[in-house]
Amino acid sequence: MNNPKSVIKNIDIDSRVATCHLPTEYGDFKMHVFQDAISGKESVALTMGNFTDEEAVLCRVHSECLTGDIFHSLRCDCGPQLNESMKLIALKKRGVLIYLRQEGRGIGLLNKVNAYALQEKGADTVEANEILGFDSDLRDYAEAKLWLNYLGITSIKLLTNNPAKIDALKSFGFQVERTALHVGNTAQNTGYLSIKRAKMGHFHN
């Protein structure tokens, strides 16, 4: 059993980590939960395999989306991206999925629903955030850096279409190679995906 004090020291002196096995429909993962002792904010890492060599690790850094991940909303592609990432990691039998609790690209669930209501009146996803007084994307990937450091990972194959996420992780000193993740296109989210490409620079392929 890990010494709790050594685990805390490895990730952050103001945090704690709990770990268990998590069997899923895709395979058996290890689930690690990190809680910041000051803010109480929690994040999750699902891991499979070991990361003791220098080979790049398949990695998904996924921001929480209650509507997509849990309720299977067709307004976004978040749920399918989450599921596909778990599937790809399980097929390779090696990888990490980092789940960050930053709903609505960082504006929270209440404001996300308010943004949805504005979209129903004609605003796009970026305009809706701006009407509410927010930037288009307020996500922070500092906790992803903590997780990758904690797991001893320095090089990743990042499952993403978002160049800002790649740039953020590169700025933390990680070697990042992109792996495309185009799933979950629906008739209901065509406009949303188009705006992400046109206004937020997301990759087409």
**Helix/strand/coil (H, E, C) string of the chain?**
CCCHHHHHHHHCCCEEEEEEEEECCCCEEEEEEEEECCCCCEEEEEEECCCCCCCCEEEEEEECCHHHHHCCCCCCCHHHHHHHHHHHHHHHCCEEEEEECCHHHHCCHHHHHHHHHHHHCCCCHHHHHHHCCCCCCCCCCHHHHHHHHHHCCCEEEEECCCHHHHHHHHHCCCEEEEECCCCCCCCCCHHHHHHHHHHHCCCCC
Write out the catalytic residue numbers. Answer: 137, 139
